[in-house]
A and B are shown apart, each in its own frame.
Chain A
Amino acid sequence: DPKIIQKPKYLVAVTGSEKILICEQYLGHNAMYWYRQSAKKPLEFMFSYSYQKLMDNQTASSRFQPQSSKKNHLDLQITALKPDDSATYFCASSGQGNQAPLFGEGTRLSVL
């Protein structure tokens, strides 16, 4: 059974709309992250959360907002969606920030 659960697996959205990508991990990890994989760029780091606090943000746009309601949850809210946001978004986690992350199976977002 997957230990990092991402929902939904596929998502289609209209330009200008807002979506929330869900991530839960059952590994007992304290740190969670978001990465993005698009057709134009390699996998890239977006955010790091540790004990529900934002530790690192490599995303230039404020349209991307992580939300952590519980220690093992890190959702990603994306507002004012653009076609360029089309990508697979991976949630990841690790016990501590100095450890290599384990990845979920991803949410594939298509913005029309």
Chain B
Amino acid sequence: GDSVIQMQGQVTLSENDFLFINCTYSTTGYPTLFWYVQYSGEGPQLLLQVTTANNKGSSRGFEATYDKGTTSFHLQKTSVQEIDSAVYYCAMSPRNMGYKLTFGTGTSLLVDP
């Protein structure tokens, strides 16, 4: 079955540090890849979508990239701020079934001021 592995459970950074979160996936076909962010007490919010055709996406200073060779995808931000503290989830869906997300276990980011 489909699976998404997100190894980094918790990351602590200082403001202006570089953020890099990595996920690997396993599926048949050509999935669509996502990054969601969840703030305390709220539901997940779509941050970025990356189709395996275009390799990249960006939003709010975050950039997502994808490596087909290693079936991995990454989220990065050059300079994090305290307001970026949240849980970040990578997720995957089959092509044309964007509703059917398989999520990673989440990376809890804490940014110290």
Contacts and interface: CB of A to CB of B under 8 A. Distances in A.
Contacts of A56: 99-100
What is the size category of the interface that chain A forms with chain B? 20 to 34
Interface in B70-113: 89, 91, 93, 96-106
B46 to A, nearest CB: 5
Contact of B43 (A45, A90, A94, A97): A90
A97 B99 contact: yes
B100 A45 contact: yes
B69 interface: no
Dominant secondary structure of chain A at its interface with chain B = strand
A102 B99 contact: no
Contacts, number: 63
Nearest to B49: A100
A81 interface: no
Contacts of A44: 103
What is the size category of the interface that chain B forms with chain A? 20 to 34
A33 B99 contact: yes
A5 B41 CA distance: 14
Contacts of A105: 41-43
B6 to A, nearest CB: 8
Nearest to A44: B103
Given A90-B43, A100-B34, A48 B100 contact: yes
B45 interface: yes
Nearest to A43: B103
Contacts of A99: 98-99
B44 A45 contact: no
Contacts of B106: 42
Given A100-B34, A100-B49, A100-B93, A43 B44 contact: yes
